[in-house]
Chain A
Amino acid sequence: MSALSQTAPGVDAASASTRMPRRLAILTAITIISLIAGLVLALVIVRPDIDQGNVQRIFYIHMPSFFGAFVAFGGAVIGGIGYLRTRNLRWDALAVAGVEVGLVFSLINLLTGAIWAKPTWNVWWTWDPRLTSAAVMALTYAAYLMLRNAIENPNQRRRFAAIYGIIAFATVLYTLIIIRIRPDTIHPTIIGASPTNAEGTFEATTSTAIALVPNLFIWGFLLPITIMWHRIRLQNVLERLAMRRAEINAE
Protein backbone atom coordinates (compact mmCIF):
# COMPACT_ATOMS: atom_id res chain seq x y z
CA MET A 1 0.00 0.00 0.00
CA SER A 2 2.68 2.42 1.07
CA ALA A 3 4.59 2.26 -2.21
CA LEU A 4 1.61 3.26 -4.29
CA SER A 5 0.13 5.76 -1.93
CA GLN A 6 3.45 7.57 -1.85
CA THR A 7 3.32 7.91 -5.62
CA ALA A 8 -0.23 9.16 -5.65
CA PRO A 9 -0.48 12.56 -4.04
CA GLY A 10 -3.47 14.52 -5.23
CA VAL A 11 -5.90 11.64 -5.16
CA ASP A 12 -7.59 12.55 -1.93
CA ALA A 13 -11.16 11.99 -0.93
CA ALA A 14 -12.32 15.31 -2.34
CA SER A 15 -10.74 15.04 -5.78
CA ALA A 16 -11.70 11.41 -6.22
CA SER A 17 -15.29 11.81 -5.10
CA THR A 18 -17.58 9.75 -7.30
CA ARG A 19 -20.38 12.32 -7.15
CA MET A 20 -20.55 14.92 -9.88
CA PRO A 21 -19.69 18.35 -8.46
CA ARG A 22 -22.49 20.90 -8.63
CA ARG A 23 -20.33 23.33 -10.60
CA LEU A 24 -19.61 20.67 -13.21
CA ALA A 25 -23.32 19.85 -13.50
CA ILE A 26 -24.11 23.53 -14.09
CA LEU A 27 -21.27 23.88 -16.60
CA THR A 28 -22.48 20.78 -18.44
CA ALA A 29 -26.01 22.18 -18.68
CA ILE A 30 -24.71 25.53 -19.96
CA THR A 31 -22.52 23.74 -22.51
CA ILE A 32 -25.38 21.62 -23.85
CA ILE A 33 -27.67 24.65 -24.22
CA SER A 34 -24.88 26.69 -25.83
CA LEU A 35 -24.02 23.86 -28.20
CA ILE A 36 -27.63 23.65 -29.41
CA ALA A 37 -27.83 27.44 -29.79
CA GLY A 38 -24.54 27.50 -31.71
CA LEU A 39 -25.73 24.79 -34.10
CA VAL A 40 -29.01 26.65 -34.70
CA LEU A 41 -27.02 29.78 -35.53
CA ALA A 42 -24.69 27.94 -37.89
CA LEU A 43 -27.22 25.65 -39.55
CA VAL A 44 -30.43 27.68 -39.58
CA ILE A 45 -29.99 31.38 -38.91
CA VAL A 46 -27.03 32.20 -41.17
CA ARG A 47 -27.69 32.10 -44.92
CA PRO A 48 -25.78 29.60 -47.04
CA ASP A 49 -22.67 30.88 -48.77
CA ILE A 50 -23.44 32.22 -52.23
CA ASP A 51 -20.61 30.25 -53.84
CA GLN A 52 -20.15 27.11 -51.73
CA GLY A 53 -23.74 26.57 -50.61
CA ASN A 54 -24.60 24.71 -47.42
CA VAL A 55 -21.27 22.90 -47.20
CA GLN A 56 -19.69 26.18 -46.08
CA ARG A 57 -21.58 25.80 -42.79
CA ILE A 58 -19.04 23.07 -41.90
CA PHE A 59 -16.62 25.93 -41.31
CA TYR A 60 -18.50 26.89 -38.12
CA ILE A 61 -17.44 23.57 -36.59
CA HIS A 62 -14.23 22.94 -38.52
CA MET A 63 -12.28 25.99 -37.42
CA PRO A 64 -13.57 26.15 -33.81
CA SER A 65 -12.81 22.44 -33.33
CA PHE A 66 -9.15 23.16 -34.12
CA PHE A 67 -9.11 25.78 -31.40
CA GLY A 68 -10.81 23.28 -29.09
CA ALA A 69 -7.92 20.90 -29.80
CA PHE A 70 -5.48 23.76 -29.20
CA VAL A 71 -7.01 24.50 -25.77
CA ALA A 72 -7.07 20.81 -24.80
CA PHE A 73 -3.50 20.15 -25.93
CA GLY A 74 -2.51 23.35 -24.15
CA GLY A 75 -4.07 21.84 -21.02
CA ALA A 76 -1.89 18.77 -21.57
CA VAL A 77 1.21 20.99 -21.61
CA ILE A 78 0.16 22.73 -18.38
CA GLY A 79 -0.62 19.34 -16.83
CA GLY A 80 2.72 17.95 -17.95
CA ILE A 81 4.72 20.86 -16.55
CA GLY A 82 2.70 20.79 -13.33
CA TYR A 83 3.29 17.06 -12.88
CA LEU A 84 7.02 17.30 -13.53
CA ARG A 85 7.30 20.09 -10.95
CA THR A 86 5.08 18.67 -8.21
CA ARG A 87 4.50 14.96 -9.01
CA ASN A 88 0.87 15.62 -8.06
CA LEU A 89 -1.54 13.28 -9.86
CA ARG A 90 -4.06 16.04 -10.46
CA TRP A 91 -1.68 17.50 -13.04
CA ASP A 92 -1.27 14.11 -14.71
CA ALA A 93 -5.06 13.77 -14.86
CA LEU A 94 -5.23 17.17 -16.59
CA ALA A 95 -2.56 16.08 -19.07
CA VAL A 96 -4.24 12.82 -20.09
CA ALA A 97 -7.65 14.50 -20.25
CA GLY A 98 -6.23 17.22 -22.49
CA VAL A 99 -4.69 14.73 -24.89
CA GLU A 100 -7.78 12.52 -25.17
CA VAL A 101 -10.18 15.43 -25.69
CA GLY A 102 -7.76 17.29 -27.96
CA LEU A 103 -7.28 14.20 -30.12
CA VAL A 104 -11.03 13.85 -30.71
CA PHE A 105 -11.32 17.56 -31.52
CA SER A 106 -8.46 17.31 -33.99
CA LEU A 107 -10.11 14.27 -35.60
CA ILE A 108 -13.31 16.31 -35.91
CA ASN A 109 -11.25 19.05 -37.51
CA LEU A 110 -9.69 16.61 -40.00
CA LEU A 111 -12.98 14.88 -40.81
CA THR A 112 -14.98 18.06 -41.38
CA GLY A 113 -12.13 19.48 -43.46
CA ALA A 114 -12.02 16.38 -45.66
CA ILE A 115 -15.79 16.46 -46.21
CA TRP A 116 -15.67 20.19 -47.06
CA ALA A 117 -12.78 19.57 -49.46
CA LYS A 118 -14.67 17.07 -51.59
CA PRO A 119 -17.18 19.48 -53.20
CA THR A 120 -14.76 22.42 -53.03
CA TRP A 121 -11.44 20.92 -54.14
CA ASN A 122 -12.94 17.76 -55.61
CA VAL A 123 -10.75 15.56 -53.41
CA TRP A 124 -11.28 14.12 -49.94
CA TRP A 125 -7.61 14.54 -49.12
CA THR A 126 -4.49 16.08 -50.58
CA TRP A 127 -0.98 16.25 -49.16
CA ASP A 128 -1.14 19.98 -48.73
CA PRO A 129 1.26 21.40 -46.08
CA ARG A 130 -1.59 22.41 -43.74
CA LEU A 131 -3.48 19.15 -44.07
CA THR A 132 -0.31 17.13 -43.64
CA SER A 133 0.73 19.02 -40.52
CA ALA A 134 -2.76 18.57 -39.02
CA ALA A 135 -2.57 14.83 -39.69
CA VAL A 136 0.92 14.64 -38.15
CA MET A 137 -0.42 16.51 -35.10
CA ALA A 138 -3.26 14.00 -34.62
CA LEU A 139 -0.94 11.02 -35.10
CA THR A 140 1.57 12.48 -32.63
CA TYR A 141 -1.09 12.65 -29.92
CA ALA A 142 -2.44 9.20 -30.81
CA ALA A 143 1.11 7.98 -30.13
CA TYR A 144 0.94 9.68 -26.69
CA LEU A 145 -1.95 7.39 -25.72
CA MET A 146 -0.06 4.36 -27.01
CA LEU A 147 2.99 5.42 -25.01
CA ARG A 148 0.92 5.69 -21.82
CA ASN A 149 -0.46 2.22 -22.32
CA ALA A 150 2.94 0.74 -23.14
CA ILE A 151 4.74 1.69 -19.89
CA GLU A 152 3.79 -0.39 -16.86
CA ASN A 153 5.56 1.52 -14.11
CA PRO A 154 3.09 4.29 -13.11
CA ASN A 155 5.71 6.87 -12.17
CA GLN A 156 7.74 6.29 -15.29
CA ARG A 157 4.56 6.36 -17.40
CA ARG A 158 3.43 9.70 -16.01
CA ARG A 159 6.88 11.25 -16.32
CA PHE A 160 7.45 10.11 -19.92
CA ALA A 161 3.92 11.11 -20.89
CA ALA A 162 4.40 14.57 -19.37
CA ILE A 163 7.60 15.15 -21.33
CA TYR A 164 6.10 13.76 -24.53
CA GLY A 165 2.96 15.91 -24.13
CA ILE A 166 5.05 19.07 -23.77
CA ILE A 167 7.21 18.31 -26.81
CA ALA A 168 4.21 17.23 -28.92
CA PHE A 169 2.71 20.71 -28.58
CA ALA A 170 5.24 21.85 -31.21
CA THR A 171 3.08 20.09 -33.83
CA VAL A 172 0.07 22.16 -32.71
CA LEU A 173 1.97 25.44 -33.02
CA TYR A 174 3.35 24.41 -36.41
CA THR A 175 -0.13 23.51 -37.68
CA LEU A 176 -1.45 26.84 -36.41
CA ILE A 177 1.10 28.99 -38.19
CA ILE A 178 1.77 26.98 -41.33
CA ILE A 179 -0.81 28.78 -43.45
CA ARG A 180 0.97 32.02 -42.62
CA ILE A 181 4.46 30.82 -43.51
CA ARG A 182 3.85 28.44 -46.44
CA PRO A 183 2.52 30.31 -49.51
CA ASP A 184 2.05 27.05 -51.45
CA THR A 185 -0.80 25.80 -49.27
CA ILE A 186 -4.25 25.76 -50.84
CA HIS A 187 -5.93 25.90 -47.43
CA PRO A 188 -7.86 29.17 -47.15
CA THR A 189 -7.40 31.67 -44.35
CA ILE A 190 -10.60 33.38 -43.29
CA ILE A 191 -9.14 35.81 -40.79
CA GLY A 192 -6.45 37.79 -42.58
CA ALA A 193 -5.12 37.41 -46.10
CA SER A 194 -5.29 33.97 -47.70
CA PRO A 195 -2.22 32.37 -49.30
CA THR A 196 -2.00 33.11 -53.01
CA ASN A 197 -2.79 29.49 -53.93
CA ALA A 198 -5.75 29.21 -51.55
CA GLU A 199 -8.88 27.63 -53.05
CA GLY A 200 -12.32 27.76 -51.51
CA THR A 201 -12.04 31.06 -49.70
CA PHE A 202 -15.19 32.95 -48.87
CA GLU A 203 -15.94 36.39 -47.66
CA ALA A 204 -16.16 36.74 -43.86
CA THR A 205 -19.20 38.99 -43.51
CA THR A 206 -21.11 40.18 -40.45
CA SER A 207 -23.42 37.21 -41.02
CA THR A 208 -20.42 34.86 -40.87
CA ALA A 209 -19.26 36.47 -37.62
CA ILE A 210 -22.71 36.02 -36.04
CA ALA A 211 -22.30 32.24 -36.27
CA LEU A 212 -18.52 32.02 -36.00
CA VAL A 213 -17.87 33.99 -32.81
CA PRO A 214 -20.31 32.04 -30.57
CA ASN A 215 -19.23 28.70 -32.05
CA LEU A 216 -15.59 29.64 -31.59
CA PHE A 217 -16.31 30.14 -27.88
CA ILE A 218 -18.45 27.00 -27.59
CA TRP A 219 -16.27 24.56 -29.58
CA GLY A 220 -12.99 26.24 -28.79
CA PHE A 221 -13.43 26.72 -25.06
CA LEU A 222 -16.68 25.65 -23.39
CA LEU A 223 -17.00 22.16 -24.85
CA PRO A 224 -13.36 21.01 -24.43
CA ILE A 225 -13.18 22.38 -20.88
CA THR A 226 -16.42 20.63 -19.88
CA ILE A 227 -15.44 17.29 -21.39
CA MET A 228 -11.94 17.55 -19.92
CA TRP A 229 -13.42 18.10 -16.47
CA HIS A 230 -15.47 14.90 -16.84
CA ARG A 231 -12.36 13.08 -18.08
CA ILE A 232 -10.36 14.34 -15.08
CA ARG A 233 -13.07 12.93 -12.78
CA LEU A 234 -12.68 9.59 -14.53
CA GLN A 235 -8.90 9.71 -14.08
CA ASN A 236 -9.28 10.50 -10.38
CA VAL A 237 -11.62 7.54 -9.89
CA LEU A 238 -9.23 5.27 -11.82
CA GLU A 239 -6.30 6.38 -9.65
CA ARG A 240 -8.33 5.83 -6.49
CA LEU A 241 -9.32 2.40 -7.78
CA ALA A 242 -5.68 1.53 -8.43
CA MET A 243 -4.81 2.59 -4.89
CA ARG A 244 -7.56 0.47 -3.39
CA ARG A 245 -6.46 -2.55 -5.41
CA ALA A 246 -2.88 -2.08 -4.20
CA GLU A 247 -4.07 -1.72 -0.58
CA ILE A 248 -6.07 -4.94 -0.81
CA ASN A 249 -3.15 -6.78 -2.43
CA ALA A 250 -0.82 -5.52 0.33
CA GLU A 251 -3.14 -6.84 2.99
Chain B
Amino acid sequence: MSTLTFTPHISRAAMVRLLVIAIALTAALVPFRLAHAATDCATVTDVTSVECETLVNIYRENNGSAWNNSTNWLDDDTVCDWYGVTCDNGHVVGLDLSNNNLTGTVSLSGIGNVLMVNLSGNDVVRLDTTDYLLLALAGVAVLMGLLLLSIFARLRGAKNELRMLEQHN
Protein backbone atom coordinates (compact mmCIF):
# COMPACT_ATOMS: atom_id res chain seq x y z
CA MET B 1 0.00 0.00 0.00
CA SER B 2 1.48 3.21 -1.04
CA THR B 3 1.52 6.26 1.25
CA LEU B 4 0.29 9.51 -0.11
CA THR B 5 2.51 12.39 0.91
CA PHE B 6 2.17 16.08 0.10
CA THR B 7 5.30 18.03 -0.39
CA PRO B 8 4.79 21.69 -1.24
CA HIS B 9 7.06 22.75 -3.98
CA ILE B 10 8.72 26.11 -3.51
CA SER B 11 11.48 26.98 -5.77
CA ARG B 12 14.78 28.11 -4.41
CA ALA B 13 14.43 31.49 -6.13
CA ALA B 14 11.05 32.08 -4.48
CA MET B 15 12.48 31.23 -1.09
CA VAL B 16 15.31 33.70 -1.59
CA ARG B 17 12.82 36.39 -2.59
CA LEU B 18 10.71 35.73 0.51
CA LEU B 19 13.79 35.85 2.68
CA VAL B 20 14.88 39.18 1.21
CA ILE B 21 11.42 40.67 1.75
CA ALA B 22 11.35 39.46 5.36
CA ILE B 23 14.78 40.90 6.08
CA ALA B 24 13.84 44.23 4.46
CA LEU B 25 10.61 44.48 6.47
CA THR B 26 12.41 43.68 9.69
CA ALA B 27 15.15 46.20 8.95
CA ALA B 28 12.54 48.85 8.22
CA LEU B 29 10.67 48.20 11.44
CA VAL B 30 13.67 47.97 13.79
CA PRO B 31 14.31 51.71 14.15
CA PHE B 32 10.60 52.36 14.56
CA ARG B 33 10.39 49.70 17.24
CA LEU B 34 13.50 51.00 18.96
CA ALA B 35 12.09 54.48 19.02
CA HIS B 36 8.91 53.31 20.68
CA ALA B 37 10.16 50.48 22.75
CA ALA B 38 11.70 52.44 25.59
CA THR B 39 9.06 55.12 26.09
CA ASP B 40 5.44 54.23 26.45
CA CYS B 41 3.59 57.46 27.18
CA ALA B 42 0.59 55.51 28.48
CA THR B 43 2.67 54.29 31.40
CA VAL B 44 4.66 57.46 32.08
CA THR B 45 3.99 58.78 35.58
CA ASP B 46 6.18 61.86 36.07
CA VAL B 47 4.26 63.98 33.54
CA THR B 48 0.92 63.56 31.80
CA SER B 49 0.70 61.22 28.83
CA VAL B 50 -0.30 64.12 26.56
CA GLU B 51 2.81 66.07 27.53
CA CYS B 52 4.90 62.96 26.96
CA GLU B 53 3.38 62.42 23.51
CA THR B 54 4.04 66.07 22.63
CA LEU B 55 7.72 65.69 23.51
CA VAL B 56 7.98 62.39 21.63
CA ASN B 57 6.48 64.12 18.59
CA ILE B 58 9.01 66.94 18.88
CA TYR B 59 11.78 64.35 18.85
CA ARG B 60 10.34 62.48 15.87
CA GLU B 61 9.45 65.53 13.78
CA ASN B 62 12.70 67.35 14.35
CA ASN B 63 15.24 64.71 13.46
CA GLY B 64 15.86 63.69 17.08
CA SER B 65 18.48 61.08 16.20
CA ALA B 66 20.67 63.90 14.82
CA TRP B 67 20.39 66.22 17.82
CA ASN B 68 23.64 67.38 19.39
CA ASN B 69 22.35 66.26 22.76
CA SER B 70 19.43 63.86 23.14
CA THR B 71 20.42 62.35 26.48
CA ASN B 72 17.66 60.06 27.78
CA TRP B 73 15.18 61.12 25.07
CA LEU B 74 12.94 58.11 24.41
CA ASP B 75 15.39 55.90 26.35
CA ASP B 76 13.27 55.58 29.46
CA ASP B 77 9.91 56.48 30.96
CA THR B 78 11.23 59.28 33.16
CA VAL B 79 10.46 62.22 30.91
CA CYS B 80 11.82 64.76 33.39
CA ASP B 81 15.29 63.26 32.94
CA TRP B 82 15.30 64.00 29.22
CA TYR B 83 17.81 66.60 28.12
CA GLY B 84 16.38 70.14 28.22
CA VAL B 85 13.11 69.18 29.90
CA THR B 86 12.24 70.87 33.20
CA CYS B 87 9.36 69.57 35.31
CA ASP B 88 7.48 70.84 38.30
CA ASN B 89 4.65 69.22 40.19
CA GLY B 90 3.94 66.58 37.56
CA HIS B 91 4.08 68.87 34.55
CA VAL B 92 6.59 69.97 31.95
CA VAL B 93 7.31 73.63 32.74
CA GLY B 94 10.37 74.34 30.62
CA LEU B 95 12.00 73.17 27.43
CA ASP B 96 15.48 74.31 26.48
CA LEU B 97 16.66 72.72 23.24
CA SER B 98 18.67 75.70 22.05
CA ASN B 99 21.54 75.08 19.61
CA ASN B 100 20.65 71.41 19.41
CA ASN B 101 20.38 70.86 15.65
CA LEU B 102 16.57 70.62 15.55
CA THR B 103 15.11 70.84 12.07
CA GLY B 104 11.39 71.05 11.30
CA THR B 105 8.34 72.27 13.15
CA VAL B 106 7.64 72.28 16.86
CA SER B 107 4.14 72.17 18.28
CA LEU B 108 3.70 72.63 22.02
CA SER B 109 -0.07 72.48 22.00
CA GLY B 110 -0.07 69.48 24.35
CA ILE B 111 1.99 71.25 27.00
CA GLY B 112 -0.16 73.78 28.78
CA ASN B 113 2.12 74.60 31.70
CA VAL B 114 5.34 75.34 29.93
CA LEU B 115 6.80 78.53 31.36
CA MET B 116 9.64 79.17 28.98
CA VAL B 117 10.69 77.57 25.74
CA ASN B 118 14.08 78.14 24.22
CA LEU B 119 14.46 76.82 20.69
CA SER B 120 16.95 79.43 19.49
CA GLY B 121 19.88 78.32 17.39
CA ASN B 122 17.83 75.72 15.52
CA ASP B 123 16.17 75.65 12.13
CA VAL B 124 12.66 75.29 13.55
CA VAL B 125 9.43 77.22 13.57
CA ARG B 126 6.89 77.05 16.37
CA LEU B 127 3.45 76.61 14.87
CA ASP B 128 1.23 76.41 17.88
CA THR B 129 0.84 80.13 18.54
CA THR B 130 -1.22 81.09 15.49
CA ASP B 131 -4.45 80.86 17.48
CA TYR B 132 -3.19 83.50 19.89
CA LEU B 133 -2.34 85.80 16.98
CA LEU B 134 -5.85 85.40 15.55
CA LEU B 135 -7.35 86.04 19.00
CA ALA B 136 -5.33 89.26 19.30
CA LEU B 137 -6.39 90.44 15.84
CA ALA B 138 -10.03 89.76 16.68
CA GLY B 139 -9.67 91.75 19.90
CA VAL B 140 -8.07 94.67 18.10
CA ALA B 141 -10.82 94.62 15.48
CA VAL B 142 -13.53 94.64 18.15
CA LEU B 143 -12.00 97.52 20.13
CA MET B 144 -11.30 99.61 17.03
CA GLY B 145 -14.76 98.82 15.64
CA LEU B 146 -16.43 99.94 18.87
CA LEU B 147 -14.49 103.22 18.85
CA LEU B 148 -15.37 104.00 15.23
CA LEU B 149 -18.98 102.90 15.68
CA SER B 150 -19.27 105.10 18.76
CA ILE B 151 -17.90 108.14 16.91
CA PHE B 152 -19.88 107.77 13.68
CA ALA B 153 -23.14 106.68 15.30
CA ARG B 154 -23.05 109.69 17.65
CA LEU B 155 -22.06 111.98 14.78
CA ARG B 156 -24.97 110.78 12.69
CA GLY B 157 -27.42 111.19 15.58
CA ALA B 158 -26.14 114.66 16.45
CA LYS B 159 -26.32 115.79 12.80
CA ASN B 160 -29.89 114.58 12.48
CA GLU B 161 -30.94 116.34 15.66
CA LEU B 162 -29.18 119.53 14.59
CA ARG B 163 -30.95 119.41 11.23
CA MET B 164 -34.30 118.98 12.97
CA LEU B 165 -33.64 121.91 15.31
CA GLU B 166 -32.65 124.14 12.38
CA GLN B 167 -35.81 123.15 10.51
CA HIS B 168 -37.76 123.91 13.68
CA ASN B 169 -36.37 127.42 13.53
Contacts and interface: CB of A to CB of B under 8 A. Distances in A.
Q: Which secondary structure dominates where chain A touches chain B?
A: helix
B29 interface: no
A48 B130 CA distance: 10
A108 B140 CA distance: 6
B38 interface: no
A107 B143 contact: yes
A244 B151 contact: no
A112 interface: yes
Nearest to B115: A122
A8 to B, nearest CB: 14
Contact of B162 (A56, A116, A241): A241
Nearest to A239: B158
A112 B162 contact: no
Nearest to B124: A50
B28 interface: no
A61 B132 CA distance: 14
Interface stretch (A78-86, A169-177, A225-233): A225-233
B118 interface: yes
A58 B132 contact: yes
Q: Which secondary structure characterizes the binding site on chain B?
A: helix
Size category, B interface: 35 or more
A18 interface: yes
B119 interface: yes
A5 interface: no
A58 B152 CA distance: 28
B122 A50 contact: yes
Contact of A241 (B132, B165, B168): B165
Contacts of A108: 139-140, 143-144
Interface in B133-160: 133, 135-137, 139-140, 143-144, 146-148, 151-152, 154-155, 158-159
22 contacts: A48-B126, A50-B120, A50-B122, A50-B125, A50-B126, A51-B118, A53-B130, A55-B136, A58-B136, A61-B136, A61-B140, A104-B144, A112-B139, A119-B128, A227-B148, A233-B155, A234-B155, A234-B158, A237-B158, A237-B159, A244-B162, A245-B165
Interface of A: 18, 43, 48, 50-58, 61, 65, 100-101, 104, 107-108, 111-112, 115-116, 118-119, 121-122, 199, 227, 230-231, 233-234, 237-238, 240-241, 244-245, 248
